[in-house]
């Protein structure tokens, strides 16, 4: 299985820039996607194919990377961005990272 | 607009089975593969398997091969997942999601909470 590793939690102040990382145990080309999940809700697609913004997602969100290292950036962070963010790869079956919980100071 | 509407929460006894549904609307059901994903409490997401509504073809995560059975009813645009021989480890939220091939899951159902308890 392709294992995706994310840092468990981050805390930032509104208005700041935050980068959430995801490292794959093997190369996944650009088959990396990002989701946002708020408590009690289903995941919501933010970024697909590493850097493409999903429909309806604010331009404050962006993605980058290829191969094994990927980053989701939020700039600037707003209070509504409090959530858990998951990366997912779709090159070798489908696996998800453990999630990064974003909290606002 | 695209919607995936899942069935309600289930409370089941150990050893029993549960069958949950995922009704699609707002698009042609047979044009998109449906995946199923497990989320244990406070934890990450695990891919269970997928079904192609057009052909009925399935593919399962090895971990869930003897646990999950995926089916569809094209006439009602509904996908189903049956989970068998339930244990406490199966208590979780189960999501269906539409696959925007070959990449991401672009739409998700609201999830079904399954609780296994005697």
Rounded average pLDDT over B9-36: 98
pLDDT score of B102: 87
Cβ–Cβ gap A86/B44 under 8 Å? yes
State both tokens at B80: 């189903």
**Does B41 reach chain A within 8 Å, measured CB to CB?**
no
DSSP assignment letter at B57? -
Interface touch A86/B45, C-beta < 8 Å:
yes
Token digits of residue A45: 């697609």
Name the residue in chain A with its Cα closest to that of B59: A93
Mean pLDDT of B87-95: 97
CA–CA distance, A32 with A17 (Å, rounded to integer) = 21
Contacts of B102 in chain A (CB under 8 A): 31, 90
| Subunit contact A45:B105, Cβ cutoff 8 A | yes
Identify the CA nearest to B37 among candidates A25, A93, A74. Answer: A93
Which residue ranges in chain A fall short of pLDDT 50?
A: none
**Residue A67 touches partner B, C-beta closer than 8 Å:** no
Query: Which of A3, A63, A90 is the best residue to mutate to test the B interface, defined by the most B CB atoms within 10 Å of its own CB?
Result: A90
For the stretch B42-66, pLDDT in tens is 788 999 999 999 999 999 999 999 9
| Residue B96 pLDDT greater than 90, yes or no | yes
Report the residue count for chain B.
118
CB atoms within 10 A of CB A29: 12
Angstrom distance (rounded) from CA A37 to CA A35: 7
Predicted confidence band at B28 (pLDDT cuts at 50, 70, 90)?
Answer: very high
A92 contacts A26 by C-beta, under 8 angstroms: yes
The arithmetic mean of pLDDT across residues B64-89, rounded, is 97
Task: Using pLDDT thresholds of 50, 70 and 90, give the confidence band for residue B41.
Answer: confident
Answer positive or negative: Cα dihedral of A39, A42, A48, A49. Answer: positive
Instruction: Tell me the mean pLDDT in the region B61-77.
Output: 97
Mean confidence (pLDDT) of chain A = 97
Collapsing DSSP states into helix, strand and coil, what is residue B62? helix
- Secondary structure (H, E, C), B7-30: CCCEEECCCCCEEEEEEEECCCHH
């Amino acid at each position: 299985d392709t294992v995706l590793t994310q840092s468990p939690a981050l805390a930032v102040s509104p208005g700041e820039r935050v980068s959430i990382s995801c490292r794959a145990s093997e190369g996944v080309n650009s088959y990396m996607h990002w989701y946002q999940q708020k408590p009690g809700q289903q995941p919501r697609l933010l970024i697909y194919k590493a850097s493409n913004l999903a429909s309806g997602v604010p331009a404050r969100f962006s993605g980058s990377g290829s191969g094994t290292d990927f980053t989701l950036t939020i700039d600037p962070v707003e209070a509504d961005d409090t959530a858990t963010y998951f990366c997912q790869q779709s090159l070798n079956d489908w696996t998800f990272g453990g999630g990064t919980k974003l909290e606002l100071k | 607009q695209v919607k995936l509407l899942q069935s309600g929460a289930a409370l089941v006894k150990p050893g029993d089975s549960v069958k949950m549904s995922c009704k699609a609307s707002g698009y042609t059901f047979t044009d998109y593969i449906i995946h199923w994903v497990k989320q244990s409490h406070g934890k990450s997401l695990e891919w269970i398997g997928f079904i192609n509504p057009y052909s009925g073809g399935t593919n399962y995560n090895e971990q869930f091969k003897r646990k999950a059975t995926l089916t569809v009813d094209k006439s009602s645009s509904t996908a189903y997942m049956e989970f068998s021989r339930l244990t406490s480890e199966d208590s979780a939220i189960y999501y269906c999601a539409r696959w925007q091939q070959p990449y991401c899951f672009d739409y998700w159902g609201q999830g079904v909470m399954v609780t296994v308890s005697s």
